């Protein structure tokens, strides 16, 4: 091969198509101009503004990879990742609302629901209905398949009774993908997924948690008291809900990786801006090598986290195995988010510790990355299993 001939090689991970660049820049502008001014008050109130959620719908952010025939944007998974990352730079609460809707709920419906369910529900998800993904319970977190919520067959319905805990978006949601067991003796093989409308009799949203971080994102209990759910709302096969849960969470983890990588970039951006203008000893603090080294290390870690997230998302879109990479990117990006936000607080000195600057909130928000959608230990379990056993 002559030196002048070009090999056909895959492009760099961070190289975006024109369409992706336009999409990224529109989400970036929306996050900065529309969400930015509201972040502090929403964090203090612990409530995400309804008008901003309506803007998510208008911008097409709530059904990114839902086909146009069902009222979605006809996009793909990587675009959801770009949107989550951009939103998280400004507000990780905004990012998780879009994340749960796209990477968990819509994703599960697109892959496992019937044509009838798609026609009934997908158009609402792109228009005005927020969705939740309800797996965890008080007694089953990391051990998710130890869930106790029970579904009992009753003619054309199931009657579901139990409690779900920690459910993101639950306060705003109109639809819930909820996991219950039809046979507790069958272990994980009894787990079944149900589509539940908020108005179904016997269903109620309970207590809303008061949290350390992502305070504007609602996290609530769900109460099911003999809730009647039509059999037509079973998602996938009865007894195969565990597969839906495992596979959607594998993808969802890339979304949390994107949230954490975006959060870290946001914190770094604030640290850079402050270092350029803050003067001590007659110089800007960015002129001190100690501060420069801090900023440089932060940038290295954020870049590494972003590359891992993009790679996992691109693998998923290419139909290649991605389970290990998804767990790795979530595990690493959540560490990077916590470290970067912590260092950003220090670069800002005293003001970094106050609510007058955004880094204090990003530091609080970073903690959740190591907890939800599988704690850091659970990611390590997954990574080790994949290395020591079969890769899927």
- Are 216 and 46 in contact by the 8 Å Cβ rule? The answer is yes
State the angle between helix axes of 289-317 and 77-90 in degrees (0 to 180), rounded to the nearest 10: 150
Contacts of residue 147, Cβ cutoff 8 Å, sequence gap at least 6: 135, 137, 139, 140, 162, 179, 180, 181, 191
Query: Smallest distance, Å, CB 240 to ligand FAD?
Result: 18
Residues 24-83 within binding reach of ligand FAD (CB under 6 A): none
Residue 79 or residue 379: which is nearer to ligand FAD going by CB?
379
Among positions 17, 29, 377, 392, the unique one binding ligand FAD when judged by CB under 6 A: 377
What six digits make up the tokens of 373? 């959608």
Rounded CA gap, 100 and 74, in Å? 18
Residue 206 sits in the site that holds ligand FAD (CB under 6 A): no
Residue 368 sits in the site that holds ligand FAD (CB under 6 A): yes
Contacts of residue 15, Cβ cutoff 8 Å, sequence gap at least 6: none
Residue 384 sits in the site that holds ligand FAD (CB under 6 A): no
Residue 351 or residue 371: which is nearer to ligand FAD going by CB?
371
From the list 59-67, 115-123, 163-171, 264-272, the region that binds ligand FAD by CB under 6 A is 163-171
Of 17, 20, 48, 23, the closest CA to residue 34 belongs to 48
Of 273, 266, 287, 277, the closest CA to residue 31 belongs to 266
Residue 191 or residue 271: which is nearer to ligand FAD going by CB?
191
Residue 112 sits in the site that holds ligand FAD (CB under 6 A): no
Rounded CA gap, 264 and 268, in Å? 6
Rounded CA gap, 343 and 267, in Å? 9
Residue 167 sits in the site that holds ligand FAD (CB under 6 A): yes
The DSSP element (H or E) to which 20 belongs, if any, is: helix 18-30
Assess whether 373 carries a catalytic annotation. Answer: yes
Query: Smallest distance, Å, CB 96 to ligand FAD?
Result: 8
Among positions 31, 39, 88, 135, the unique one binding ligand FAD when judged by CB under 6 A: 135
- Are 313 and 254 in contact by the 8 Å Cβ rule? The answer is yes
Residues 274-333 within binding reach of ligand FAD (CB under 6 A): none
Residue 342 or residue 375: which is nearer to ligand FAD going by CB?
375
Residues 219-248 within binding reach of ligand FAD (CB under 6 A): 219
Catalytic residue among 85, 325, 360, 373: 373
Residue 208 sits in the site that holds ligand FAD (CB under 6 A): no
Residue 82 or residue 167: which is nearer to ligand FAD going by CB?
167
Strands 157-168 and 234-235: unpaired
- Which residues of the shown chain bind ligand FAD in the complex (CB under 6 A)? 100, 132-136, 141-142, 166-168, 211, 219, 368, 371-375, 377-378, 381
Q: Which residues are catalytic?
A: 373
């Amino acid at each position: 091969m002559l030196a002048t001939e070009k090999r056909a090689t895959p492009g760099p991970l961070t190289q975006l198509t024109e369409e992706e660049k336009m999409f990224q820049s529109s989400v970036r502008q929306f996050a900065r101009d529309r969400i930015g001014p509201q972040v502090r008050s929403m964090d203090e109130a612990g409530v995400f503004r309804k008008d901003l959620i309506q803007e998510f719908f208008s911008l097409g952010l709530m059904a990114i990879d839902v086909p146009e025939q069902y009222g979605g944007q006809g996009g793909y998974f990587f675009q959801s990742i770009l949107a989550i990352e951009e939103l998280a730079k400004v507000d990780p609460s905004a990012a998780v609302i879009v994340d749960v809707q796209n990477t968990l709920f819509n994703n599960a419906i697109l892959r496992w629901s019937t044509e009838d369910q798609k026609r009934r529900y997908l158009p609402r998800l792109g228009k005005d209905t927020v969705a939740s993904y309800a797996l965890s319970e008080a007694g089953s977190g990391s051990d998710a398949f130890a869930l106790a919520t029970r579904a009992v067959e009753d003619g054309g319905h199931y009657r579901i009774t139990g409690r779900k805990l920690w459910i993101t978006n639950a306060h705003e949601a109109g639809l819930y993908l909820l996991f219950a067991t039809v046979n507790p003796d069958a272990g994980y093989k009894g787990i079944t997924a149900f589509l539940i409308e908020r108005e179904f009799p016997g269903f109620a949203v309970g207590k809303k948690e008061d949290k350390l971080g992502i305070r504007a994102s609602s996290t609530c209990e769900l109460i099911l008291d003999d809730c009647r759910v039509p059999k037509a709302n079973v998602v996938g096969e009865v007894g195969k809900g565990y597969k839906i849960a495992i596979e959607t969470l594998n993808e969802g983890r890339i979304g949390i990786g994107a949230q954490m990588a975006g959060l870290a970039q946001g914190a770094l951006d604030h640290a850079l801006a402050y270092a350029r203008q803050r003067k001590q000893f007659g110089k800007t603090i960015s002129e001190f090598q100690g501060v420069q080294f801090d900023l440089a290390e932060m940038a290295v870690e954020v870049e590494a986290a972003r590359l891992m997230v993009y790679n996992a998302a691109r693998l998923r879109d290419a139909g290649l195995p991605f389970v290990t990479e998804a767990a790795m990117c979530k595990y690493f990006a959540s560490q990077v988010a916590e470290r970067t936000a912590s260092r950003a607080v220090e670069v800002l000195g005293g003001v970094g510790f106050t609510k007058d600057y955004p880094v204090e909130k990003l530091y609080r928000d970073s903690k959740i990355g190591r907890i939800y959608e599988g704690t850091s230990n659970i990611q390590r379990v997954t990574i080790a299993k994949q290395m020591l056993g079969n890769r899927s």
